Amino acid sequence: MSPGLVRRATVSAAAAATTGCALVQVFGDGGTLKDRGTLKTGTLEVLDPGGSLMAPAAVFWWLWLPVAALWLGYAVYQWLPRQRQNPRHNRLGWVVLAANTTALGWLMAVSLDSAPAVLSVAALQVAVGLTAVHLINREPAGSSTEGTLTDVALGWFLALAVLTLTTALSVLLTGHDVDLGGWGGTVWTLVGLISVTVGITVVCMTNRGHLPVALAAAAGLVCVTVERLAGSPGSFVIASSAAGAAFLVVVSSGSRRHHVDHERRISARRSTGGNHGGNDGGVEDQGDTPSDQADSNSDGCAVRPE
C-alpha cells in the first residue's frame, strides 16, 4: 500500500470523525457547545465565558464547524485524479491529519471539562498550526480551491488553538486565585492579550499576511470584548484592550498583504518593461497583470492548472 493511499485514507477518516464530533458537540443532546452558543450548565466549565476575563463568548467556538467542513472538503478533494500526484499533499496532507487528530483531542478534552487536558491539547495544536504556516509559506497552494481547503482551514485552526490556549490557562490561573500586583486577574489577562496580539502579528508578517488567521483571531478577540462588556466578569479595561488587539491584528495582516501585492505589481511591471524596453523607454500602466490577478485568488496562492 502506497504512502499516498494511506495518507488519503487516514485524512478522510479523521475528517469524517472530526466533523461528526463537532456536530454532536454543537447540536447533540448534552453537547458542550449547544443551545445558541451557551455552554452546559453546572460547575464552572473550561470554556465558560464567565470562567475568566480572557474567555470569549461561547459562540466563537462554533468556528470549529466550518473548519471541520473545509477539512471534509479537502478529504474529498485529495482523491481527485488530478490531485493524487500533487506533491503539496504529500507534505501538507499529514499536517491536516495532525490537525484533525488534535481537534478530536480538543473536543474530547472539552467534554471532560479538564482545563489541564485542554491546555495540553491546545499547546499541541499551536505547534501543528505553526508547522502548517511554515509549509504554506514555503509552498503556496496551486489553486484558489486548494488554498481555501487547506490554508484557510489551517489558519482558522491556528487562531482557535491560540484562543483555546489562553482561555484554558486563564481558567487555571483564576481557579488558583493568581494575583499580580494586587490587580486581580486584570494584569495577567492584559499580558495574555499582548501575547496573543504579538504572536498572531508575527505570523501575519509572513507570506501575504495570512488573512484567515488574522480574521479568526480578531473574531475571538471581539468575542472577548463583547463578553467583558455584556457578561460576567465584566471589565472595561479588558474589553477595550481586546478590541484594540483585534484592530491591530487585522491592520497588520492587511498592511502586509498590501505591501506584498504592491511589490509583486512593481516586479511584474519592471519585467514587462524589460521585455518591451523599446517602447519610448517606458511602460504604460495597464492595471493588474494576469499574475496579480492570480495572486489575489487566495492567501499566497499562485494558481496553476489543477
Dihedral in degrees, nearest 10, Cα atoms 261, 266, 272, 275: -130
Report the alpha-carbon distance of residue 59 to residue 234 in Å, rounded: 18
pLDDT tens readout for residues 230-268: 878 888 999 999 999 999 999 999 999 888 888 888 888
User: How many Å separate Cα 108 from the centre of its chain?
Assistant: 20
Conformational region of residue 87, where left means phi above 0, alpha means psi within -120 to 50, and beta covers everything else: alpha
Window from 9-13, 39-43, 92-96 with minimum mean pLDDT: 39-43
Report the alpha-carbon distance of residue 8 to residue 261 in Å, rounded: 34
Sign of the CA dihedral running 57, 119, 209, 82: negative
8 Å CB contact between 213 and 204: yes
Report the alpha-carbon distance of residue 224 to residue 55 in Å, rounded: 6
Instruction: Tell me what pLDDT residue 32 has.
Output: 54
Give the global pTM: 0.82
Residue 157 has pLDDT above 80, yes or no: yes
Round to the nearest angstrom and report the end-to-end CA distance of the chain: 25
8 Å CB contact between 64 and 156: no
8 Å CB contact between 222 and 243: yes
pLDDT tens readout for residues 266-275: 888 888 876 5
Count CB-CB contacts under 10 A for residue 162. 24
Cell of 149: 481547503
Report the alpha-carbon distance of residue 1 to residue 9 in Å, rounded: 11
Window from 1-5, 135-139, 152-156 with minimum mean pLDDT: 1-5
User: How many Å separate Cα 34 from the centre of its chain?
Assistant: 22
Report the alpha-carbon distance of residue 215 to residue 57 in Å, rounded: 16
8 Å CB contact between 210 and 299: yes
* Length, in residues, of the chain: 306
- Site of grid cell 474567555: 55
